[in-house]
Amino acid sequence: MGGVRRRKTEGGRPVSFFWFPIEHLPVIILIMLIAFTVHEFAHAWTAWKFGDDTAYREGRVTLNPLAHLDWIGMLFLVLAGFGWAKPVPVRRSRFKNPRLMSILVTAAGPLSNLLLAFVFLFLIHLLSALNVFDHASIDFLNNLVTFVNYWMAINLALFIFNLIPIPPLDGYRIVEEFLPIRTRIKIQEMGQWITFAFLLIIFIPPLRAVTISPLMSLRGPIWDGMNNILNLIF
């Protein structure tokens, strides 16, 4: 990526072309790489364990980010707050129970991000209970809070966003298993238009504010629920 470009100043502060604060980009990119990699790995690994080795043969059953990274999707995520990784190839005909196993393979991706959020929060609670942070500097604690906030926000966003039942998201792949064949065919025929309309919703702020944003607000209750569970443990 070239030099950082800036827009005109707003309220005395330069506005970046990036969706996120420039100073936080290294942390955000690191978290995104981990979140996307684990998400796609979960799809590939689950499919492999259920009998479909398509993703395995293509080198997707790995935690190497380069195997899953889509550079254009990553760029869009940094610039616009919306992006994607390489889709994992799955042949449902190789499953013993195609419908059930397809649903589980599809759900594995979003659930992996939910698990990442919970496990990381568990570690923070554990370290706090062990008084590890008692003598930490203010700068370290501030940086830790920033990292935790982004880690939770990004992973919970991927969990919620991917469950939206609109193609080509995971949520639609789950719902698709229960749709009549005729309905599936019609949706496939309109696939490009549905995707285009969905992109408009994402990138047009007024539309995003009344559709995607309310869904993203669910991150707060989920995060609070995790904290409540962990507070009972610690």
Q: Considering the entire predicted model, what is its pTM?
A: 0.88
Neighbouring-strand partners of residue 13:
10
Query: What percent of the chain has pLDDT above 90?
Result: 67
The pLDDT score that the predictor gives to residue 77 is 77
Is residue 211 in some structural domain? yes
Q: Which long-range contacts (CB under 8 A, 24 or more apart) does 103-106 make?
A: 103/174, 103/177, 104/46, 104/50, 105/43, 105/46, 105/47, 105/50, 105/52, 106/43, 106/170, 106/173, 106/174
pLDDT > 80? residue 30: yes
C-alpha to C-alpha distance for 177 and 90, rounded to whole angstroms: 14
C-alpha to C-alpha distance for 15 and 34, rounded to whole angstroms: 27
Considering its fold, how many domains does the chain have in total? 1
Do the strands 13-16 and 6-10 form a parallel or antiparallel pair, or are they unpaired? antiparallel
Is residue 9 in some structural domain? no
Is residue 13 in some structural domain? no
The pLDDT score that the predictor gives to residue 2 is 34
The parent domain of residue 118 ranges over 22-232
Reported as a single tens digit per residue, the pLDDT across 171-201 is: 999 999 999 999 989 998 888 898 888 888 8
Is residue 2 in some structural domain? no
Reported as a single tens digit per residue, the pLDDT across 43-80 is: 999 999 999 999 999 999 999 999 999 988 888 777 77
C-alpha to C-alpha distance for 93 and 38, rounded to whole angstroms: 24
Which one, of 97, 35, 33, lies nearest residue 66 by Cα?
Answer: 33
- DSSP letter at 53 equals -
Known catalytic membership, residue 40: yes
- Residue 153 makes CB contacts below 8 A (sequence gap 6+) with 219
Is residue 133 in some structural domain? yes
SS3 185: helix
Is residue 8 in some structural domain? no
C-alpha to C-alpha distance for 56 and 89, rounded to whole angstroms: 9
Reported as a single tens digit per residue, the pLDDT across 93-120 is: 999 999 999 999 999 999 999 999 999 9
Is residue 158 in some structural domain? yes
The pLDDT score that the predictor gives to residue 19 is 67
Is residue 38 in some structural domain? yes
pLDDT > 90? residue 39: yes
How would residue 148 be classed by pLDDT, with cut points 50, 70 and 90? very high
Instruction: Single out the catalytic residue among 10, 40, 58, 189.
Output: 40
Summary mean pLDDT of the chain: 88
Show the tokens assigned to 62: 């790995």
